[in-house]
Amino acid sequence: MSIQRAEGFAELGMWQDCWEAINELSGGEKSGREAERLRLRCCGPLQAWDLGAKLAYRLGQRLVEDRRAAAGFWLALGRADFALAHDCISAAVNAWPECREEVIGDPVLRKAIFAICS
C-alpha cells in the first residue's frame, strides 16, 4: 500500500477506503506528516470529530502545509456544529491566518460570526 493510493481514494471522496489505506501503510509512512494530514482530511467526512480535533491541534503547531490542513478541519467542524463555530473559526485562524478569506466567503461561517456579534 502506498500513500499515493490513499490520496487517490481521498480525491474520489472514498473516505473509508482512504482511512483503511492509511492504516495499511508501513510503520514510518503511517505515522508521517503526509499520512496525518490525509487522516485529518478523512475526519470531517467520517465525522471523527474528536480524533480530528486532536490531530488538528497537533498539526496546527507545525509547518504551513500542516497548519493549512488543521485550519480546513476546524472550518469543517464549525460548519457542522454551529454551537462550536466561533471557537472553530478562532482555532482555524490561529493555525493558518490566511483562511480568513475562506471564512468571510462562506455563508455558514459568516452567519456564525454575525450571530456572535449581535
Reference 40, options 58, 64, 27; nearest CA is 58
Report the predicted TM-score, pTM, of the whole model to 2 decimal places. Answer: 0.90
Per-residue pLDDT tens digits for 8-18: 999 999 999 99
Per-residue pLDDT tens digits for 22-63: 999 998 899 999 999 999 999 999 999 999 999 999 999 999
Q: Write down the domain spans for the chain.
A: 3-117
